[in-house]
Structure 1
Amino acid sequence: MNTAQNTRDKIIELGRDYMQRIGYHSFNYKQISLELNIKNASIHHYFPSKEDLGLAVIEKDRQDFIFLTQKVRKAKAMDKLEALISSYQYYFEQGKKLCVISTFSTSFNEITERMQLAVSQYAELVTAWLVATLKEGLESGEFSFKEPVDELAEVWMATMPGALLVGRTGGKTVFDKVINSLRQTVKSS
């Protein structure tokens, strides 16, 4: 990997970390420049505007999600869901971060239309994957639930970020309880 690409990738990763921990509007380029020991102008070279970096963060996270789904594509349905849950456990353990979708959803009305579209499309991708995974588990007999699959997928989309939020104030015990309750949604009869 060349130095320019390496610097660009580091900026995206640090931007994602700050956005997940403190929010899109609360982070600034100075935080990244201090951590990387580069000038703000260097960041602007790669990302002329904060919107450009925000879009790159959304795209990077989307690509990471696609990689995760490809890695578990042959796994059982519950193992697929557990892989997604593991990413939320990682966010929690790494500083009580929010996922990228909820990071941008919390300020949805204040971000640009391009960013709204990008995060909406990303959320649709995750929801579609959840729907497919829930259907797969239901059809194989691995899951047992009565709710319509698309409604249960939306419950998962709301509950996973919600676990991160309540975990911020209630700690790991509360986070774990919410996640365990979510697991039970596919086991009800």
Structure 2
Amino acid sequence: MKHAITRSWQIGLLVLTAATGAYLYFRPSGELRALPKEPVIAVLPAEVETLIFKNSVVDVTLRSLHTDEGFDIAVRPIDGQPSQECRSSKNLINSVRTLFSISAHRLLTPEQLATDFPLQIGKVDIVDRLTREGPISMVFYTSRDLKRTALLYGDTRAEIDVSYATFERLQSPCTEHGPV
């Protein structure tokens, strides 16, 4: 009898834990949200075909990211300056790959995102070469001191561990090797 009661408590605790986890993971809005330290974005580098970075200064397209040989880059300044084309450097490859797997350092409310990360860095779209279901679209923000970054992906707002320097490299990717 004692064993049966213990077993009932174990099953009840398991059901309660699963229900609580499901509520935290699937919010009433019905959209999937990440928990802190859980991946917000996880894309296999070998499957990424294109990455597009846009902000108020530049529109950058990186193609053929699934190779380790580097990738082709097209840079179109928003102010009408001449466009550039180049091949990626090893440093840029490593920086860009940090955008393929992003974990939440902490989740943010809309108010925290607006207050703590008031500066928009830009938008990144990642196109997977297998699914082609449409790009993964993320908007990145930074703190006033440029030391912390956050992302908005769907209705998930999170502080992340991607360096602001990654976006600086994306904004002028042809400076290391020059145009093609």
Question: TM-score, normalised to structure 2's length?
Answer: 0.24
More helix by share: 1
TM-score by length of 1: 0.23
Larger CA Rg, structure 1 vs 2: 2
